C-alpha cells in the first residue's frame, strides 16, 4: 500500500525539523506512513512567497521576534536541541537538498540522513551548505558520504530537486514543510500536524 502522506521539506527550516520529529510518532500511532520529498525552499519563496525575505529584514517585527520564543518552546516539547539561529542563518541548502534527493529512492536512508542533518545544523551549528560536512553526516548514519557527494552533483539529481520544487509549487505549496494527505489535502508546518492526523482519521472512517 502506498503512503497516504507526502512530506515536502527543506533541511534549512527549524519548523520543518520540528514537524519531521513529531511526524513519525503520529504516523506510527495512526498506522500510516509518509514519503519524504526533498525541495529547495528558496525556490518556492522566490516563486510564490517572497514576503518571507521582507519579514526577515524587519528588525522591529514583533511576530518574528516572538516566533523565536515559540520555536524554542516547541523544541523543548519535542525533545530536540535547537541552537538557532547560528552564524550560517539563513542557510544555503542546495547542497543538502541534493544529497537528500540522491537518497529519495531509499526512504529509510533518506529519513536517517535527514534526521542527522537536522541535528548537525540545528544542534551542533554545522554548515548545512558544506558538502564535506554533509558527507560526514551521511557517514555517521552508515551511508557512503563520498558516493552521495558525487551523486549530488549529477544532472539527474539536480533535475529531481528542480522537479520536486516545481511540483510542490504547482500543487499549492508555499514553504516547508508542505504536507499532503491523500494527494490533494494540503497542510503546512508543525502546528498543523494535528490537522494531518484528523485528516488521516477521516479517510479511514
Burial status of residue 201 (CB atoms within 10 A of its CB: 0-12, 13-18, 19 or more): exposed
The CATH number of the domain holding residue 169 is 3.40.30.10
Rounded to the nearest 5°, which phi and psi values hold at 134? -65, -40
Number of structural domains, the chain? Answer: 1
The dihedral region occupied by 98, where left means phi > 0, alpha psi between -120 and 50, and beta the remainder, is alpha
Helix (H, G, I), strand (E, B) or coil at 34: strand
Helix (H, G, I), strand (E, B) or coil at 22: helix
pTM strictly above 0.85: yes
Q: Which domain holds residue 135?
A: 5-204
In order along its 205 residues, the chain shows pLDDT tens digits of: 479 999 999 999 999 999 999 999 999 999 999 999 999 999 998 999 777 766 666 667 788 889 889 999 999 999 999 998 888 888 899 999 999 999 999 999 999 999 999 999 999 999 999 999 999 999 999 999 999 999 999 999 999 999 999 999 999 999 999 999 999 999 999 999 999 999 999 876 4
Size (the chain), residues: 205
Cell of 201: 482519521
> In the prediction, which pLDDT does 50 show?
77
Tell me which residue of 131, 95, 133, 100 sits closest to 115, measured CA to CA.
100
Cα separations in angstroms, 59 against 15, 78, 189: 20, 28, 23
Q: Is the peptide bond before 85 cis (omega within 30 degrees of 0)?
A: yes
Amino acid at each position: 500500500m502506498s503512503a497516504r502522506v507526502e512530506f515536502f521539506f527543506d533541511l534549512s527550516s527549524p519548523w520543518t525539523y520540528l514537524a519531521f520529529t513529531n511526524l513519525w510518532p503520529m504516523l506510527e500511532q495512526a498506522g500510516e506512513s509518509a514519503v519524504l520529498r526533498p525541495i529547495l525552499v528558496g525556490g518556492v519563496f522566490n516563486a510564490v512567497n517572497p514576503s518571507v525575505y521582507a519579514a526577515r529584514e524587519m528588525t522591529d517585527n514583533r511576530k518574528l521576534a516572538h516566533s523565536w520564543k515559540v520555536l524554542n518552546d516547541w523544541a523543548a516539547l519535542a525533545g530536540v536541541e535547537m541552537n538557532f539561529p547560528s552564524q550560517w542563518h539563513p542557510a544555503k541548502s542546495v547542497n543538502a537538498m541534493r544529497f537528500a534527493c540522491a537518497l529519495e529512492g531509499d526512504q529509510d536512508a533518506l529519513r536517517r540522513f535527514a534526521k542527522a542533518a537536522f541535528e548537525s545544523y540545528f544542534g551542533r551549528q554545522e554548515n548545512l551548505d558544506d558538502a564535506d560536512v554533509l558527507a560526514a553526516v551521511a557517514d555517521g548514519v552508515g551511508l557512503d558520504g563520498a558516493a552521495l557527494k558525487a551523486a549530488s552533483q549529477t544532472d539527474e539529481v539536480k533535475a529531481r530537486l528542480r522537479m520536486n520544487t516545481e511540483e510542490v509549487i504547482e500543487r499549492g505549496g508555499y514553504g516547508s514543510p508542505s504536507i499532503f494527505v491523500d494527494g490533494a489535502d494540503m497542510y503546512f508546518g508543525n502546528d498543523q500536524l494535528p490537522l494531518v492526523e484528523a485528516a488521516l482519521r477521516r479517510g479511514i472512517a
